[in-house]
Structure 1
Amino acid sequence: MLRTVNRVLLGLVGLVLVVLGGAVLAVGLGLEPPSWWLHQGPDDVLLSAAERSRWRDEGWWWPVVIAALAVAVLLALWWLTAVLRRRRLGEVLVDTGDGEGALLRGRAMEGALAAEAADLDGVGRAQVHLTGRRATPAARVRLHLEPHVDPAAALQHLTTRAIAHARDSAGLAKLPTEVRLRGVRHRPERVS
């Protein structure tokens, strides 16, 4: 849901910037603008001489404006690359022994590993994300543990059962895994 909202907002901001830039370009090329438009013709400027020289005596004004715009551009580029970058592994290369190999969808392996991890005793919920390359994947696992579970035992069961099973099923030599454990929120128990 958040990813969809993020992409819709990014698309809307991009659309507004393209429309405004295109309108200014069209007016600059000689198209007649509507009367309410802030730019009235090809000889009109966006900032008049009075607006540009208003802060001329202040030596800090233009460096601050340029620095703020540079930071805004850098943040926008960082946001764009963060949205467009694929964080999840799309597919995993499974060695079939015939030299060809097969491709396993990354989401399928994530789902199977998460389902098996969630079936462990005392695990309330499990989330799995595959990263890395398709021949050498790595996993990030987040376990939400019930209050009565020993974290060391849950981690031991995860590594010896779920991760080992996923590694062996995909025919991988190793499956490096980062595990984060969290306790499930619960109401405090009364002690009398």
Structure 2
Amino acid sequence: MLRVVNRVLLGLAGLALLCAGAAVLVPGTGLSVPSWWPYYGPRDVLLSAADRDRWRDESWWWPTVIAVLAVAVLLALWWLFAQLRRSRLTEVLVDSGDGAGALLRGRALEDVMEGEAQALEGVARASVTLKGRRSTPEARVNLLLEPHVAPGEALTRLTDEAVGQARESAGLAALPAEVRLRAAKHGAQRVS
């Protein structure tokens, strides 16, 4: 989601800057422009004195300017904090039975899940990343499968063993997992 927002914001900012630059550059080079163009020639200024003073005496002008700038600042801060937010879950809330709960390091749970996933038959390599909230974590699992393994069987074993045991041991109601499977490259086998 954040990648899409970043791309849309960058695209809109680039398009706005390109249009503004073209609106100023085209008449500045001496090319003829249509009558509706905002600037007419190389000697035209971007904001004339009349344009700068036009709305100054209106009662709605300054509150509107301040509101628009405040919204722009809030959107910029939201975007900045979204960039700085960690994508990896640092701790998981485990139900300890006493009502208070305990915190489990997210990296420790990831390491255990990786170890169990790599111990499965036919898995060459595994990596696990926990995302989401500490009370409702989600796992992103990447598996590199050996050539002879059926992907459906590997996925079933991963769900039953590695993810299921992690869910039960952490006392979680659910542990959704997004699994990406890739096959390891192998050389051709010779038949004699």
TM-score range, shorter chain: 0.5 to 0.7
DSSP 3-state at the match of 1:175:
coil
Q: Does 1:144 align with 2:118?
A: no
Q: Shift of residue 82 of structure 1?
A: 6.9
Structure 2 CA distance for aligned equivalents of residues 58 and 189 of structure 1: 71
- Number of equivalent positions: 129
Q: Which amino acid aligns with 2:124?
A: G
Aligned residue in 2 for 1:43: none
Structure 1 CA distance for aligned equivalents of residues 121 and 151 of structure 2: 11
- 1:43-69, Cα deviation, whole Å (9 max, x unpaired): xxxxxxxx9x8535476xx99xxxxxx
DSSP 3-state at the match of 1:100:
coil
Q: Gaps spanning 5+ residues in structure 1: where?
A: 1-50, 64-76
| Residue correspondence of structure 1 range 29-40 to structure 2 within 5 A | none
Larger-gyration structure (1/2)? 2
Q: Does 1:153 align with 2:127?
A: no
| Residue correspondence of structure 1 range 1-192 to structure 2 within 5 A | 54-55=28-29, 57=31, 84-191=84-191
Q: Which amino acid aligns with 2:182?
A: R
Q: Shift of residue 85 of structure 1?
A: 2.6
> What is the TM-score of this pair, normalised by structure 2?
0.58
DSSP 3-state at the match of 2:110:
helix
**CA spacing shift, 1:159–1:58, aligned 2, 3 Å:** farther
Q: Which amino acid aligns with 2:107?
A: R
Q: RMSD of the TM alignment (CA)? A: 3.1
**CA spacing shift, 1:95–1:149, aligned 2, 3 Å:** same
Structure 1 CA distance for aligned equivalents of residues 138 and 176 of structure 2: 5
**CA spacing shift, 1:190–1:58, aligned 2, 3 Å:** farther
**CA spacing shift, 1:154–1:58, aligned 2, 3 Å:** farther
**CA spacing shift, 1:105–1:191, aligned 2, 3 Å:** same
Q: Gaps spanning 5+ residues in structure 2: where?
A: 1-24, 40-76
**CA spacing shift, 1:175–1:58, aligned 2, 3 Å:** farther
Q: Shift of residue 90 of structure 1?
A: 1.0
Aligned residue in 2 for 1:33: none
Q: Shift of residue 151 of structure 1?
A: 0.9
Q: Which amino acid aligns with 2:29?
A: W
Structure 2 CA distance for aligned equivalents of residues 96 and 81 of structure 1: 32
